[in-house]
Amino acid sequence: MSSSRTTLPAAGEEFTLDALRGDGLERAAAVLRERGLVQLRGLGGRSDVLDTAVLLMSEPWQHRDADPDGLTVIRDTGQHDGRAGFAGLGRGDLELHTECAQLPRPPRLMVLACVRAAEDGGESLVVDGKAVLAELAASRPAALEALSAPRAAYFGGSDGQFAPVLEHLRGGQWRLRLRQDELARFSPEAQAHFPALRRAVEHHTSRMRLACGQALVLDNHRVLHGRTRFTGERLLLRALGWPRPALGMEAGFPSPCSAAGPAVTAFAADRG
């Protein structure tokens, strides 16, 4: 698995299912808390993806497109081109987003496993929201203020949700929520600063080409994910849910103090 342009993910940090079943789970949990992303290898198929989800999630979440076992097959169905909210089931570019942004309580964890790689393209894109927050706090505090307003965005259709893009939580933690398709609308103040957000996202985008048996475990409240267009019969399996208490994941992610401590601290103080 290769990456480019940013520090996410760290080279060599791959875990096997056997490691997760043993003493590697604690280390994987530490990596997930620190970076928002864990890489896996050697998954043998659907049963291994399910076993991985069971190890990591105490509360699975049944997506609209999931099979009865809770896994969603991500492939080009040939039937969803141009349908709002269904870009993941085509073969075009998939804008960076967090999963289920329109829900009051989006699932926290996502496992995304490759069963069959694309012939060409189909790279997975990931962005650490902590790095995006640091850049905005350091260089675009007005953008951070607009994007963290309670009604900065509306995600979904008639039963959607008003929410901040970057939400400041109690205890100094933050939570990211974003989609960039037809089911996302932004307040005039947030829309005015959207170019700054896009630039920050672009600066911190990593590209990874998953091979068969490789997978990503993402903190869906911190890491954006997307995909480049592809050819061939690319097929992935996805599981969504909430982490087991043993993973030690607090709500949200910590402020990036090392990168933009004074700016983030001052902003949080102003917000009360």
Q: How many CA atoms lie within 13 A of 43 on its CB side?
A: 31
Q: Rounded CA gap, 177 and 221, in Å? A: 7
Q: Going residue by residue through the chain (272 aa), what tens digit of pLDDT does each one get?
A: 444 444 444 545 799 999 999 999 999 999 999 999 999 999 999 999 999 999 999 977 787 777 888 899 999 887 656 566 667 778 889 999 999 999 999 999 999 999 999 999 999 999 999 999 999 999 999 999 999 999 999 999 888 999 999 999 988 899 999 999 999 999 999 999 999 999 999 999 999 999 999 999 999 999 999 999 999 999 999 999 999 999 999 999 998 864 444 445 444 545 55
pLDDT confidence of residue 7:
44
Rounded Cα–Cα distance for residues 109 and 225 (Å):
12
Domains of the chain from N-terminus onward: 14-246+255-271 (3.60.130.10)
pLDDT value, residue 261: 45
CA distance 132 to 126: 12
CA-based end-to-end distance of the chain: 42
Residue whose token pair is 């081109």: 81
Residue 161: the pLDDT is: 92
Per-residue confidence (pLDDT) for residue 69, from 0 to 100: 87
| pTM, 2 dp | 0.88
Distance CA 3, CA 11 (A): 8
Contact 137, 193 (CB under 8 A): no
**β-bridge pairing 37-40 and 14-15:** parallel
The dihedral formed by the CA atoms of 237, 242, 246 and 248, expressed in degrees to the nearest 10? 110
Contact (Cβ atoms closer than 8 angstroms) between residue 28 and residue 34: no
Other Cβ atoms less than 10 A from the Cβ of 81: the count is 13
pLDDT at site 265 = 47
The pLDDT assigned to 256 comes to 85
pLDDT at residue number 9: 46
pLDDT at 266: 47
- pLDDT for 200 equals 97
Task: Write down the residue that tokens 């260089």 correspond to.
Answer: 139
